[in-house]
Structure 1
Amino acid sequence: MPLKRVFESILKYDIVIFNALNDRIKTNVLDKIIPYFTELGSWWFTVTTCFLLIVLGKGHTRMVGIEAATSLTISHLIVQGLKKSIGRKRPYLSILEANTLRKLWKDHSFPSGHTTAGFALAVSLSIGYPGIYLLFLSLAAMVGISRIYVGMHYPSDVLMGAAIGSGVSFLTSLILV
């Protein structure tokens, strides 16, 4: 299958899944809850969490904070490079009927920075505290879903963000151990 057809197929499914998560499940209750999940992938939440682990933690906890902060930094640099080089428009700019709930970001869509940060933090915490990994990864997944729900990202943006954040965290853990 030629590469162009692969991208066309991905875009088609991106739009179908985007519409399902952005429009079909929309309710007033979710409109109030979902933005809180988005905040779990924000710079202030992820950086503050790392800072607290490093400053207040000792031994293992401090090391988990350092690994998470390193993962966040590296993954952020990768995301910013990809956003600038790919330049994909956000869905609400391309899909006129897209629902948006919050501040509209004007930068590029691919990949999702919130999702990348959420997974970078979640995977670092999961490696450090494997007994509660399902909690961390579930919250990171909700960050990604929330980014589609609020009209800021396509599903492929979120999947790539999850892959970058997770991959960088695994590599960071291997290197820093």
Structure 2
Amino acid sequence: MDSSLTRGLYRDITDLAEDTPSWLQHTAEVWTEAGLLLFGVLFVVAWWRARTDSARAVAVAVLAPLATATGYVVSESLKSLFDEERPCRTVTDAAPSLVTCPPTGDWSFPSNHASIAGAAAVALVLAWPRIAALVVPMALLMAFSRVFVGVHYPHDVAVGLVLGGVVTVVFVRLLTRPATALLTSLRTSRTGVIVWFAGPGPVAGAPAAGGRGRSRAAHRRR
């Protein structure tokens, strides 16, 4: 990858980072890793809330972390094809990185953190659309923080975000149907742990989403 494409922007961002208050610098340092943990927590919450929904909803929630892991594997595999050195080592006229520069061999393109963030955000939106306003900014901030602390070029994180998102969409689309069939089967099991994992599903006789509103509208038409 031609690092000259965003070398100037990298320099501008790291210069900005150097001039920011120390508390903001520390926040960015922590966020580059803490964001991953928060995504993990959201995966668990998405699965837990989906357990009382359809088998398909549980399947998508279960596939979400698996899709994210796949995005990471694809990103890591691409690194060996490009062998792009980290900007904190090659852009000598930029401000020093806020964190320790990874060693040679831990290549820069694409950004694993950004790939994970993009994959996790898309996966969570597919499983739990209402939290899009939370997870999308999370992913963007995590990607930006990797440039801010000085360990990635802007194009590393931009490609990482897109890569993770695309891998997730393909992964979920391909596996939702078989995963739904599996979850439907698991819900017939008498084994406690399996039933707990697959969830009880919707309460029998409960109206489908939006069903109550449609019933009222039909009543008014009568």
- TM interval, shorter chain, is 0.7 to 0.9
Q: Helix, strand or coil for the counterpart of 1:99?
A: coil
Q: TM-score, normalised by structure 2?
A: 0.66
- Does 2:162 match 1:163? yes
Aligned-pair distance for 1:84? 1.2
**Which residue of 1 is the match for residue 62 of structure 2?**
66
Q: 8 Å contact 1:34–1:149 — kept in the other structure?
A: yes
Aligned-pair distance for 1:49? 4.9
Which is further off, 157-166 or 122-131? 122-131
Aligned-pair distance for 1:145? 0.4
1:75 maps to a residue whose letter is G
Rounded Cα–Cα distance in structure 1 between residues aligned with 2:43 and 2:88 = 32
- Does 2:126 match 1:127? yes
Aligned-pair distance for 1:48? 5.8
Change (3 A) 1:85 1:130: same
Which is further off, 55-64 or 14-23? 55-64
Q: Helix, strand or coil for the counterpart of 1:74?
A: helix
1:73 maps to a residue whose letter is A
- Does 2:38 match 1:39? no
Q: Helix, strand or coil for the counterpart of 1:151?
A: coil
Q: 8 Å contact 1:53–1:64 — kept in the other structure?
A: no
**Which residue of 1 is the match for residue 80 of structure 2?**
84
User: 5+ residue gaps in structure 1?
Assistant: 1-6
Aligned-pair distance for 1:131? 2.2
Which string of whole-angstrom CA distances, capped at 9 and with x for unpartnered residues, describes residues 77-97 of structure 1?
211111112110011010123
Q: 8 Å contact 1:111–1:161 — kept in the other structure?
A: yes
Q: 8 Å contact 2:89–2:101 — kept in the other structure?
A: no
**Which residue of 2 is the match for residue 30 of structure 1?**
24
Aligned-pair distance for 1:160? 1.0
Change (3 A) 1:174 1:87: same
2:6 maps to a residue whose letter is D
Which is further off, 15-24 or 94-103? 94-103
Change (3 A) 1:53 1:128: closer
Which string of whole-angstrom CA distances, capped at 9 and with x for unpartnered residues, describes residues 119-176 of structure 1?
1111111122222212211110001100001111001110110011110111122223
Q: Helix, strand or coil for the counterpart of 1:118?
A: helix
Rounded Cα–Cα distance in structure 2 between residues aligned with 1:102 and 1:64 = 36
**Which residue of 1 is the match for residue 98 of structure 2?**
101
2:159 maps to a residue whose letter is M
Rounded Cα–Cα distance in structure 2 between residues aligned with 1:99 and 1:62 = 45
Which string of whole-angstrom CA distances, capped at 9 and with x for unpartnered residues, describes residues 32-61 of structure 1?
22123312454x555565466557862557
Rounded Cα–Cα distance in structure 2 between residues aligned with 1:90 and 1:35 = 17
Map of 1:104-115 to 2, 5 A cutoff? 104-106=101-103, 107-115=106-114
**Which structure has the bigger radius of gyration?**
2
2:123 maps to a residue whose letter is S
Q: 8 Å contact 1:127–1:133 — kept in the other structure?
A: no
Change (3 A) 1:162 1:48: same
Rounded Cα–Cα distance in structure 2 between residues aligned with 1:124 and 1:71 = 7
